[in-house]
């Protein structure tokens, strides 16, 4: 309450625990419209005052007060919808108040209601349905089940006008379609999918922008089946491998405050779709080839020019390539768009070197791909790895507790270790864009010792950090790498110098760089 009072203008009535009188309602609503959106983190306020402000306004005989209240409520729902972290809790706060007055909502959403009010209330219904999808509100034991049923009924009744609106343009009204795909009748679901399919078939060259708009707005984590159907419609004219490709897309992203690479799950899906569509328009068949031979599903994790360059030169990479390994798992968007990979590619071009891109989820799949590419293009001398990591492992798959889903000491034994070493040349550079993997006695140091007959140099960060800048030079047809991680993280370089003494490392333990480039 103190926060609201400090925001209110002196000449405006302040909201207190007392119910505002009807004659003051319009002024209160106008005042509340000016409140900063961050204020709506206060869920307690919404639950405490939704009836006193919202319901009184909706019941008002004054048409202007009623319109103003509906607009105010719609604004709250828009704010809540954008603030995804608190979406369900806030919406339930308002929903419980509306649930107590279903006949009022029915009246306002009906065809007999003034158009301005009817349209706003139906938008509110769309936002509410979308939000309730998060908490599986369509449950007979839930207190809101009767209202959810009513909202579904309103939305189904208004379906045809919604579909016509979808044909013309796209805005928040389109949110009706997704909850109806989940909660609506089979007839309703069929009508929506038929209309979406017609649109996808008639607009293949436009990238199905309306479907993409829907995908941007829904909560993918809670609408997995519906999201998958939209992806199918988006990609069916571009690749037959869409189902296998989407299977490896993330289902959730864990926020990390302050992490510069963090992106939304919706953006990951939309960017993957756009990348696939763009690639296929430029090189028909490239998506299926890269998915089958290189294991790539998250296409937006790689720069487009890297993928096209590899595809165009895939039969002419003998001894002039760098193996770029990316993990399939990425819980916070750190690998998105392949910023460092793009920098590596631009520097390799001057030496007529190419990137062989690989996406993998486990050590067995990785070794199979390394074996295949070393046989086709020559032994691997340079490896660049982008993945999440810890001191003792480089994470490749979702469940990194399973040893097979990461590069670690346990997986490098027996036949696996033998095949891995067989794919490598006599001198190898391994560059790790993977947190903490350069720590003393960690996985980076271990990789430099896996073959006593080879000279393996490994560079990695001592603590959690990504690569800031990278330098590449070529001497006597061999690449030399320099790496600078984000300050003040130390880059550690491990190099086994004496073949018959695996315990001896360059400079006795390791070469460290507190600033500048490791060379």
pLDDT tens readout for residues 202-253: 776 665 677 877 787 676 776 778 888 888 888 888 899 998 999 888 766 6
C-beta separation of 467 from 433 below 8 A: yes
**Own/partner pairs, 251-260, CB within 8 angstroms, 24+ separation:** 251/220, 251/221, 251/224, 252/221, 252/331, 253/331, 253/332, 253/333, 254/331, 254/332, 255/85, 255/332, 256/332, 259/332, 259/334
Residue 281 has what pLDDT?
Answer: 92
**Which pLDDT score is estimated for 358?**
98
Pick the closest to residue 191 from 214, 164, 172 (CA basis): 164
pLDDT per residue as tens digits for the range 359-375: 999 999 999 999 999 99
Distance CA 295, CA 342 (A): 19
Dump pLDDT digits (tens) for 125-148. Answer: 666 666 555 444 445 555 556 666
Q: pLDDT band at residue 62, thresholds of 50, 70 and 90?
A: confident
pTM: 0.72
E-assigned strand segments in 296-365: 321-327, 354-360
Q: What is the mean pLDDT of the chain?
A: 75
Between 513 and 387, where is the model more confident? 387
Other Cβ atoms less than 10 A from the Cβ of 135: the count is 16
Mean pLDDT for the stretch of residues 432-459: 92
What's the pLDDT band for 199 if we cut at 50, 70, 90? confident
Q: How would residue 172 be classed by pLDDT, with cut points 50, 70 and 90?
A: very low
Residue 33 tokens read as 């419209």
Task: Please report the pLDDT score of residue 302 as a whole number.
Answer: 95
Predicted local confidence at residue 214, as pLDDT: 75
- Can you give the pLDDT at residue 130? 60
What angle is formed at CA 288 by the lines to CA 286 and CA 291, rounded to 5 degrees? 105
Residue 487: partners with Cβ closer than 8 Å, 6 or more residues away: 468, 515
CB 326 within 8 A of CB 294: no
pLDDT digits over 34-55, tens only?
A: 544 444 444 445 555 556 667 7
Assign 407 a pLDDT band (cuts: 50, 70, 90): very high
The band of 112, judged by pLDDT with boundaries at 50, 70 and 90, is: confident
Q: Provide the token pair at 252.
A: 């959730």
Summarize the confidence of residues 74-96 as an average pLDDT.
56
């Amino acid at each position: 309450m103190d926060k609201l009072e400090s925001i209110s203008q002196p000449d405006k009535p302040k909201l207190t625990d007392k119910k505002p009188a009807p004659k003051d309602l319009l002024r209160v609503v106008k005042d509340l419209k000016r409140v900063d959106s961050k204020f709506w983190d206060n869920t307690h306020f919404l639950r405490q005052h939704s009836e006193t402000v919202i319901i009184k306004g909706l019941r008002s005989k004054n048409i202007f007060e009623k319109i103003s209240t509906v607009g105010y409520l719609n604004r709250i729902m828009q704010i809540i919808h954008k603030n995804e972290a608190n979406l369900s809790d806030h919406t339930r706060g308002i929903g419980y108040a509306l649930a107590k007055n279903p006949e009022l909502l029915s009246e306002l959403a009906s065809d007999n209601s003034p158009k301005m009010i009817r349209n706003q209330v139906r938008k509110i219904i769309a936002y509410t349905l979308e939000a309730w999808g998060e908490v599986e509100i369509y449950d007979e034991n839930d207190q809101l089940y009767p209202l959810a049923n009513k909202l579904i009924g309103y939305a189904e009744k208004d379906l045809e006008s919604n579909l016509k609106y979808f044909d013309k343009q796209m805005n928040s009204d389109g949110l009706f379609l997704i909850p109806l795909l989940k909660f609506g009748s089979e007839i309703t679901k069929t009508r929506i999918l038929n209309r979406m399919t017609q649109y996808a078939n008639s607009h293949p060259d436009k990238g199905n922008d309306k479907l993409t708009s829907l995908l941007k707005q829904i909560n993918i984590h809670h609408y997995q089946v519906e999201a998958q159907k939209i992806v199918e419609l988006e990609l069916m004219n571009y690749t037959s491998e869409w189902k296998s490709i989407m299977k490896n897309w993330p289902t959730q992203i864990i926020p990390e405050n302050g992490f510069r690479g963090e992106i939304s799950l919706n953006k990951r899906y939309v960017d993957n779709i756009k990348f696939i569509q763009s690639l296929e328009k430029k090189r028909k068949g490239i998506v299926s080839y890269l998915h089958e031979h290189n294991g790539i599903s998250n296409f937006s994790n790689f720069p487009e020019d890297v993928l096209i360059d590899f595809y165009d030169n895939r039969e002419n990479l003998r001894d002039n390539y760098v193996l770029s390994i990316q993990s399939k798992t990425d819980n916070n968007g750190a690998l998105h768009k392949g910023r460092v990979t793009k920098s590596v590619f631009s520097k390799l071009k001057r030496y007529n070197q190419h990137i062989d891109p690989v996406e993998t989820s486990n050590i067995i799949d990785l070794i199979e791909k390394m074996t295949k590419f070393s046989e086709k293009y020559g032994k691997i001398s340079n490896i660049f790895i982008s993945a999440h990591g810890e001191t003792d492992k480089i994470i490749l798959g979702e469940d990194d507790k399973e040893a097979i889903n990461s590069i670690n000491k346990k997986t490098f034994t027996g036949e696996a270790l033998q095949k891995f070493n067989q794919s490598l040349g006599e001198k190898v550079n391994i560059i790790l864009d993977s947190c903490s993997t350069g720590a003393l006695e960690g996985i980076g140091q271990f990789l430099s010792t896996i073959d006593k007959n080879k000279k393996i140099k490994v560079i990695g960060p001592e603590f959690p950090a990504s690569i800031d800048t990278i330098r590449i030079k070529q001497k006597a047809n061999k690449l030399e790498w320099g790496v600078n991680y984000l300050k003040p993280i130390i880059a550690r370089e491990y190099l086994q110098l004496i073949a018959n003494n695996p315990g001896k490392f360059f400079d006795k333990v390791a070469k460290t760089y507190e600033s500048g480039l490791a060379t």
